[in-house]
Structure 1
Amino acid sequence: MKKSKQAILSLLLIGMLLISVGCSSDSVQQRGENTGDSDGKIIVVTTIGQIADMVEQVGGEYVEVRGLMGPGVDPHLYKASQGDIAKMEAAEIIFYNGLNLEGKMADIFVRMASQKPAIAVSEYLGDEELMEPEAFAGHYDPHIWFDLNLWKRAAERVRDGLIELAPEHRADFEQNAEAYMTQLEELHQYALESIATIPEESRVLVTAHDAFGYFGEAYGMEVVGLQGISTDAEYGVMDVQNLVEMLVERKIKAVFIESSVPPTAIEAVVEGAKVQGHEVKIGGELFSDAMGEAGTPEGTFLGMFRHNVNTIVQALR
C-alpha cells in the first residue's frame, strides 16, 4: 500500500511538471500567435527613433522593434494613426519618452497601460536631474537623450522593463545594456573633448527650437532656440528680431537647422543678420527630435549624436 501511494505521488509530481513546462512553451507560442510573429520574439512598439534604437541594442535577438516615428518626424506634433494604435494593441510592451514629448499621445499610453506594460523611459529620472525651463509652462524638458548620462538611466529602464516581461533572458538583457552604456560613456567623453576645442566665446548653439538644453548643460555650451522646448510653441517677428540682434551684437558666426523642423525660421534669422551687415552661415543640419535615415550612421543613436558633435565643432571652431 505504501509503495502504491508513493507511485501515485510520483505520477502526480511528474504530471505537474509536464503541465508547468507545457505552460511555459505555450506562453512563448502564444507570444507569436498574438502578434502574428512565428519566431517568438518580443514585439516592442516605440515612439521616437532614439528609443527604438536603444531597445534594439538592449533587447538584442529577443526583440522585434516597431517604431512609430521615422526620420524627420516631429514627436511634439505627432498624432497617432489607426495603424499606430493597431501596432500598439499587437505589441507585448510599449516604450515611450514621456515628459510630455509625445504630448498628443498621452491618453493613448494611459489606455494601453491598462492592457500591457507601457513604460516611459524617463521614469527613473528624479526631479533634480531634469531641466524645467520657465517658458515650458511648468513642464520638464523632455530631450533627455542629449545628456548621455541621463540616457544611460533610460537604458536601465528599458533593461528592467524587458526583464520584467521576459525574466528568462535576464542575463542577456543585462549584458547588452552594460555594453550599450559603455558605448554611451565613450561617446560622452568624445563629446566633452571635442566641444572643449571650440573657443569659449564661440560655444553658442543657435537652433530652430530649444531642444539642446541638456546638451548645453552637459557639454558646456550656451543654447539659444528661436522656438521654445516644443515646436508646438508659436514664434513671431519679435522673436526673430531679438535673435538677429543677439547674433549681430555677439558676432555669432553660425546657426543650425534641424532635420525635424522646417528651416524657414532659421533662414529668416540669417537674412535678418545679413541686412544688418553681419554674415551668419548655416553651420549644418542637426538631428534633434528624430534620427537619420535607416542604413546611415545617423540612423543610429550613437551615429546621430556623434554627427551633431562633429557638425557643431566644425562650424564653430
Structure 2
Amino acid sequence: MQKRKSKKHLFSGISILLFVMLSLVGCSGDKKKEVGATDNEGKINIVTTIAQIAEPVAIIGGEHVKVESLMGPGVDPHLYKATQGDIKKLEQSDIVLYSGLNLEGNMTEAFENIRKKKTVSAISEAISEDKLLNDEDGATDPHVWFDIELWKTSLEEATKTLKEYAPDYADDFEKNKEEYFAKLDELLEESKAKISEIPKEKRVLVTAHDAFGYFGRAYDIDVVGLQGLSTEDEIGISDIDDTIEIIMEHNVPSVFVESSVNQNSINAVIEGAKKKGLEINLGGELYSDAMGNEGTEEGTYIGMYQYNVNTIFEALQGVEE
C-alpha cells in the first residue's frame, strides 16, 4: 500500500512539473508574438515580391528584420508565377509585402490565400488614385517606384505595417525610415538637376515597354513604350512603325533596352529606322521592373535610380544632333 501511495505522488509531481513547463513555453511564445519576433534568429521574417521593396524595407527594419525578395535581377513581375518554393516561403513568413496595382497579377490568388493567416500588404495601393497614371484603356500604371515621392508613400505604408506588427520596435522603424527618406530627397534633387541639363527637345525616352511614365512625369520627359504597361501585351508591326515615326519626327538620338525585357523589339526599331536612313544609337540598358545584382550599387534602389538617370543623361545629352 505504501508503495502505491508513493507512486501516485510521483505521477502527481510529474504532472505538475509538465504543467509548469508548458505554461512557461506558452508565455514565452506569447511574448515573442507581442514584439513581432520569430524563430528566425529572433527577427521578423519578411518576404517581398520585388527587390525595390525588399532593399529599402531591410534598411527601415534594420536589425529587427530578415527580408527576402522572391524576384531577383532580370525577373519580370508581370509574367512571374509563384513556384512551390515561393508558396513555402510565403507560408513561413511573418509579413508579406507586395507592390500591388496589378504589377504581380499572376500572384493574386496566392496573396489572397496567405492573407487569411498572415500580415499581407499591397503597399502601393496606399497611394491616392489622383496621383496614379492610367493608360488609354483605364489600366493603372504600377511602376510607381520611378516617382520618388510616390515610392515614399509606398514605403511609408510598409513602415506602418511593420509598426503594427511589432509596436515595440516602432521608434526604431521610424528613425530608420526618416534617415532613409532624407537620402531619397537628396536623390530626387540630384536627379532633377541632372535631367534639367538635357535640352527639352531631346527629352524623349524610347523603351521596350511603358514602365517610365512616372519618371517622365516627374522630370518632364516624353516617354514612348513599344509595349503597354504590362509585358504581356503583344507588339505588332504598327507599334514598331509608329515608334519609328516618333523617333524621326523628334530626331531622337538613342533608344533603350530594359534588363527584364526581351531586346528584340528595340532591335527591330533600330533596324527599321536604319532602313529609312536614320541611324539610332542604343543608349544602354535601363532597370525597369527589376534592379541589379545583390551586392552591387544597382542592386539598391538608390543605386539603380542613379544608374538610370546617368544612363539617360549620357545618351540623350551626350549625342550631338
> What is the RMSD computed on CA atoms of the aligned residues?
1.7
Gapped runs of 5+ residues in structure 2?
A: 1-23
Post-superposition shift, 1:132? 1.0
Unaligned runs of at least 5 residues, structure 1: 1-17
Give 1:163's aligned residue: 163
Shift, 1:46, TM fit: 0.1
The equivalences for 1:217-256 within 5 A come to 217-256=217-256
Query: In structure 1, what is the equivalent of residue 148 of structure 2?
Result: 148
TM-score, normalised with respect to structure 1: 0.89
CA offsets 1:202-244 (integer angstroms, 9 cap, x no match): 0000000000000000111000000001001011111111111
* Aligned residue number for residue 131 of structure 2: 129
Alignment of 1:40 with 2:51, yes or no, is: no
Q: Distance in 2 between matches of 1:20 and 1:239?
A: 63
Q: Percent identity?
A: 50
**Structure 1 outlier segments of 4+, above 4 Å:** 18-24, 28-31
Tell me, yes or no, if the aligned pair for 2:208 and 2:258 is still in contact at 8 Å: yes
Task: Say whether the 8 Å CA contact 2:257–2:263 is kept in structure 1.
Answer: yes
Residues 274 and 158 of structure 1, relative CA distance in 2, 3 Å threshold: same
Distance 2:35 2:121 in 1: 24
Three-state SS of the structure 2 residue aligned to 1:53 is helix
Structure-1 residue corresponding to 2:284: 284
Q: Show the 5 A alignment for 1:1-317.
A: 22=28, 24-27=30-33, 31-33=37-39, 37=40, 39-134=41-136, 137-317=137-317
Give me the whole-angstrom Cα distance separating, in 2, the residues matched to 1:30 and 1:165. 6
Shift of 1:74: 0.2
Assess if the C-alpha contact under 8 Å between 1:31 and 1:40 holds in 2: yes
Confirm or deny: 8 A CA contact 1:144 1:214 kept in the other structure.
Answer: yes
Whether the aligned pair in 2 keeps the contact of 1:208 and 1:226 (CA below 8 Å) is yes
Q: Is the 8 A contact 1:123 1:157 kept in 2?
A: no
Shift of 1:28: 7.1
Three-state SS of the structure 1 residue aligned to 2:257 is strand
Task: Quote the Cα distance in structure 1 between the aligned partners of 2:32 and 2:277.
Answer: 72
TM-fit CA distance, 1:27 = 3.2
- SS of aligned partner of 2:74: coil
Structure of higher CA gyration radius:
2
Cα distance, 1:32 vs structure 2: 3.4
Amino acid at match of 1:285: E
- Give the match for residue 8 of structure 1: none
Distance 1:201 1:26, change over 3 A: closer
Match of 1:3 in 2: none
What amino acid does structure 2 have at the position aligned with 1:272?
G
